[in-house]
Structure 1
């Protein structure tokens, strides 16, 4: 059993991109610690039974993860080789997720060879596979229309988010269909059903720099306090904010307009907050002090990751910082209405 698990783990790891492989390794280390709990038993048979249960479960999990990884890699390959992706999706038979992406290929990737008739049939299979959300697919969101087809993909991902191994294999949607994708993947229900949306973190580490961590941490206290009495709508508000942050990383130029003016105004809003029990002054002071570093680090990120000229990167960075703060102070000021 141990050899079987090692083989499955090695196969999973070898097929994963670098960032996903790191997560897989960390998860495996966590499982090994859990397996060690079997040593609490004193009788050999009890230890054996415990190990067998642990390793049976792990074997099934790794087989599932290998299948899920293969599916994620097919989706991620769509922009580069749509025809090959189509062949692999067809091989998955009645899988509802595969049907949704075949429908996407029929609509948006003619080089895939998926006909409109095949795509229409795939839509019916994909919709039938949904466990929830079918009621959203009406009017402009009819999946036989462009907006509705992107919405169908969001619902398929939402219904199967626990099956995702690769972080955001569908990231190309936000570059190729920005207006449709940001709308479909953002706040949809205004309830806990929005939890996890847009199922895609900001790209290329935009908010991982030290100054951004300081700013993010500064909002921890009001989140902790305000969440105590917050209703389920908060998940919708957070989905909207997360979608905005994703857009900042994919289309940063969209946030460049009037950056200095907006930043000045939002800083005043933060400074004028007068409820220290909800948001301590010390946290707000650290936040404001971190803003210049966040602008500098973001400008450098824009040059390195998005190829912007230095002057444009500086203007865009200020706009991104302003937009981020506007989103979060808006929620802090009006947690039920989302600002």
Structure 2
């Protein structure tokens, strides 16, 4: 059945309780009921109906099978009201409002369901087996992706690990994602996730979470370090890099007043550049967000060599940006007075960072100094890359 020929067909097929034939979106060449004919008479209503179907499917996917009765009852009530409200073509406006309200209600339910799923996932470090058992009651891509993580990482042992992972990856790619050809292509390009390195598995998880409202939790980064920071860094170089969201560290190293002082001297030159960069800005902003997280959560990983090809290229670009900072001459873009003030403030910022790394993260003095300088490079490169000329 074509997607345009159903409102609730595939979504309601997920329900545990059977719904009447009136629950199905009409084939508009064969519409029989008054409500069906009203929907078929309005292109806007057809779109609204698809929105309800899609969001309902998401709610069911993100709700454990044991908790779906309330969703089913609400949908039955909506369908009953639909028959009354959408009785003829003169009621199109009222019918549209009904669909919009149902779509909004389902969107709120989906947000709440994903918050509960996120809370469940947050328990992985404490009891991964219990979380895996709970995730089995979900049908959606997010739950399957987290099961892939649990089995692949070995957090939950399984004799048939590779076979399980392959089946869940296939289910996600074939049936669990929005119709996004770019995303699907990238996920297929990952190859055999079951036997791939940790970084590839984490990239698979990142792609799935990008289709949800769920954030990447901090334990991914504290446990996996460099591969996690690379997997959740800038990937697309456009607005797609806005998701998934990242966890918020207990405190940001770049919130230190010493770094704020430097930012005050750099940001006036950065803001116009962000606008000029268009959608590419999202890639820069994403990478800086990851750099901040890395410097604030697991600073020792700042000294590790990049693992992926993309990360090595980014490290090379960072080196160029730092070199440009040390020899900056384009004072039309970044005024000389601000540049010199930033240079003068940098040693204090690095010293304050090294102190935090010694006292909070128990890094040896030499390692803390090196990590602090690496954090400084991230801070400078993340901003300066926006105003440097492209190669």
Scaled by the length of structure 1, what TM-score is found?
0.67
Deviations 1:311-331 (A, max 9, x none): 432343233213422343233
* 1:83 CA displacement: 0.3
**Aligned pair 1:102/2:154, yes or no?**
no
- Residue 134 of structure 1: which of 175, 184, 189 is its match? 184
2:348 aligned residue (275, 293, 296): 293
Deviation at 1:58, TM superposition (A): 9.9
Separation of aligned partners in 2, 1:325 and 1:105: 36
Residue 303 of structure 1: CA displacement? Answer: 2.2
Asked if 2 retains the 8 angstrom alpha-carbon contact of 1:299 and 1:313, the reply is yes
Q: Is the CA contact (8 Å cut-off) linking 2:216 and 2:245 kept in structure 1?
A: no
Is the partner of 2:352 in helix, strand or coil? Answer: helix
1:85-144, Cα deviation, whole Å (9 max, x unpaired): 1022112x2121001111111211253558524433322232232223111123444433
In the alignment, which residue of structure 2 is the partner of 1:274? 330
Q: CA deviation at 1:235?
A: 2.1
- Determine the structure 2 residue equivalent to 1:3: none
Corresponding residue pairs, total: 270
Match for residue 111 of structure 1? 156
Looking at structure 1, the residues matched to 351 and 226 of structure 2 have their Cα atoms a distance apart, in angstroms, of 29
As a proportion of its length, which structure holds more helix? Answer: 1
Change (3 A) 1:129 1:59: closer
Give the counterpart of 1:86 among 118, 124, 132: 132
Local SS of the residue matching 2:345: helix
* Deviation digits for residues 158-202 of structure 1 (CA, Å, limit 9, x no counterpart): 111xx23xx642x22233333432332222222222234673456
Instruction: Find the residue that maps to 2:124 and give its secondary structure.
Output: coil
Structure 1 residue aligned with 2:10: none
**1:189 alignment partner in structure 2:** 236
Partner of 1:206: 253
Q: Equivalent residues in 2 for 1:233-252 (5 A)?
A: 233-252=280-299
Scaled by the length of structure 2, the TM-score of the pair is 0.59
Question: Quick check: 2:166–2:192 contact (8 Å CA) kept in 1?
Answer: no
Contact 1:185–1:198 (Cα < 8 Å) also in 2: no
Structure 2 residue aligned with 1:10: none
CA RMSD of aligned residues (A): 3.5
Alpha-carbon displacement from aligned partner over 1:27-71 (angstroms, at most 9, x marks no partner) = xxxxxxxxxxxxxxxxxxxxxxxxxxxxx9998777555432221
> Which has more radius of gyration?
2
Distance 1:73 1:114 in 2: 28
Structure 1 unmatched runs, 5+: 1-55
CA contact (8 A) 2:209 2:216 kept: no
Gap change, CA 1:322 and 1:180, over 3 Å in 2: closer
Q: Secondary structure at the match of 2:193?
A: coil
Structure number with greater CO (CA < 8 Å, separation at least 6) is 1
Partner in structure 1 of residue 383 of structure 2: 328
**Aligned-partner Cα distance in 1 for 2:221–2:346:** 27
Distance of aligned partners of 1:267 and 1:134 in 2 relative to their CA distance in 1, 3 Å threshold: closer
How far, CA to CA, are the matches of 1:58 and 1:211 in structure 2?
45
Matched, 1:72 2:133: no
Residue 137 of structure 1 aligns to a residue in which SS?
Answer: helix
CA change 1:322–1:190 in 2 (3 A) is closer
Distance 1:62 1:192, change over 3 A: closer
**d(CA) in 1 for partners of 2:244, 2:251:** 18
